[in-house]
């Protein structure tokens, strides 16, 4: 019987589908060392963004024939080594794009409407609304860095608010799509930061995009720029972003994906995780929850589980011949 390790939480409907294909073992929240010690028994694993499926992980799993990623990003996988070992990596690239795009728009609204300082002020008994004047989205220049699945859906929603959408993507075809859909193309990241009032990051995290928001590029930003990052923390050089927040070059940051990621399964007070953004008055931090909607999680879990079952059935047919 095929043994499938589930290493990060997925929607129950996906687990139910996987049970048709084999024995499902729940190892959610286990420490890495404990998982590594069991991996010799795994034929397939399911994970999300926290598990580092690196060389050490893959070498600890001699039976491993399939990796399922319940989501989009694959920056936590050693893809060349998986390919070398002929282990397919299944993802669900569009499964959470709508949820993520909606979350980006929420962050943009929160920054433009000054929602967090308003909530904090009112909680402290301060009702001086004149100190909290916001901006209308209508006519606001919103820059999107990246026009993939999420950037594109965010643009569609922002157009509904009457925003002027500016786009930079390093892929020419993506730029053409953006233009065809009514966005203003911007030739470089620096120009995007200079021309926008809010910039939302939707780039894939890889060796080329790592630290793309850095000290040099931030010098081009329009003073008082707001930044939204629901993509990956590693797109930004944190100390440079913090310096820009302190100098006023950046007016605020809403971020969903810290680098390194916090311990998502730990009880408050039971861990020593900390990050400078958690203490900055103009930063709003979310726990990598842009994709955490019931709809997206169910869609992703069922799609992934069905795809995994299809591959597993293929192995079983081969073995039966």
Catalytic machinery residues: 232, 261
CA 131 to CA 117: how far, in whole Å?
10
Nearest to ligand MLT of 91, 196 (CB atom): 91
| Tokens encoding 276 | 């400078």
Q: Interface with ligand MLT includes 49 (CB under 6 A)?
A: yes
Place of tokens 């940051």: 253
Q: Footprint of ligand MLT on residues 254-293 (CB under 6 A)?
A: 291
Q: Footprint of ligand MLT on residues 11-30 (CB under 6 A)?
A: none
Burial class (CB in 10 A: 0-12, 13-18, 19+), 132: middle
Nearest to ligand MLT of 140, 150 (CB atom): 150
CB of 131 to ligand MLT, least distance (A): 35
CB of 228 to ligand MLT, least distance (A): 14
Beta strands in 151-244 (DSSP E): 164-168, 184-185, 198-201, 225-229
Q: Interface with ligand MLT includes 107 (CB under 6 A)?
A: no
CB of 58 to ligand MLT, least distance (A): 20
Q: Are the C-beta atoms of 80 and 271 separated by less than 8 Å? A: no
CB of 301 to ligand MLT, least distance (A): 11
Binding mask 66-85 for ligand MLT (x = CB under 6 A): -----xxx------------
Q: Interface with ligand MLT includes 96 (CB under 6 A)?
A: yes
Q: Interface with ligand MLT includes 203 (CB under 6 A)?
A: no
Written in H, E and C, the secondary structure of 87-101 is: CCEECCCCCCHHHHH
Q: How far is CA 250 from CA 11, 47, 91, 134, in A?
A: 37, 35, 35, 16
Nearest to ligand MLT of 104, 189 (CB atom): 104
Q: Interface with ligand MLT includes 48 (CB under 6 A)?
A: yes
* Number of residues engaging ligand MLT in binding (CB under 6 A): 7
CA 307 to CA 136: how far, in whole Å?
44
Q: How far is CA 152 from CA 95, 145, 203, 225, in A?
A: 14, 10, 11, 21
**Closest-approach residue to ligand MLT (CB):** 71
For the chain, state the CA radius of gyration: 21
Residues in touch with ligand MLT (CB under 6 A) = 48-49, 71-73, 96, 291
């Amino acid at each position: 019987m095929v043994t499938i390790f589930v290493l990060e939480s997925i929607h129950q409907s996906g687990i139910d589908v996987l049970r048709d294909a084999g024995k499902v073992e729940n190892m959610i929240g286990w420490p890495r060392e404990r998982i590594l010690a069991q991996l010799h028994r795994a034929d397939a694993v399911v994970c999300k963004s926290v598990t580092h499926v690196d060389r050490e992980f893959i070498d600890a799993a001699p039976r491993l024939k399939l990796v399922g990623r319940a989501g989009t990003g694959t920056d936590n996988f050693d893809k060349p080594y998986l390919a070398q070992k002929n282990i397919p990596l299944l993802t669900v690239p569009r499964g959470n794009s709508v949820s993520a795009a909606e979350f980006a728009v929420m962050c943009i609204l929160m920054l433009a409407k000054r929602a967090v300082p308003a909530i904090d002020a009112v909680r402290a008994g301060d009702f001086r609304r004149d100190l909290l004047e916001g901006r209308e989205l209508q006519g606001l220049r919103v820059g999107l860095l990246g026009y993939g699945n999420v950037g594109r859906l965010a643009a569609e929603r922002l157009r509904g608010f009457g925003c002027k959408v500016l786009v930079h993507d390093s892929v020419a075809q993506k730029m053409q799509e953006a233009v065809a859909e009514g966005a203003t193309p911007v030739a470089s990241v620096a120009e995007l930061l200079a021309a926008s009032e809010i910039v939302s990051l939707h780039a894939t995290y890889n060796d080329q995009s790592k630290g793309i928001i850095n000290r040099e590029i931030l010098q081009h930003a329009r003073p008082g720029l707001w930044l939204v990052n629901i993509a990956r923390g590693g797109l930004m050089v944190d100390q440079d972003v913090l310096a820009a927040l302190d100098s006023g070059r950046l007016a605020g940051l809403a971020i969903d994906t810290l680098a390194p990621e916090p311990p998502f399964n730990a009880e408050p007070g039971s861990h020593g995780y900390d990050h400078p953004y958690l203490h900055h008055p103009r930063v709003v931090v979310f726990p990598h929850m842009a994709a955490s909607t019931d709809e997206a999680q169910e869609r992703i879990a069922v799609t992934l589980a069905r795809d995994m079952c299809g591959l597993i059935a293929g192995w079983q047919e081969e073995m039966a011949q």
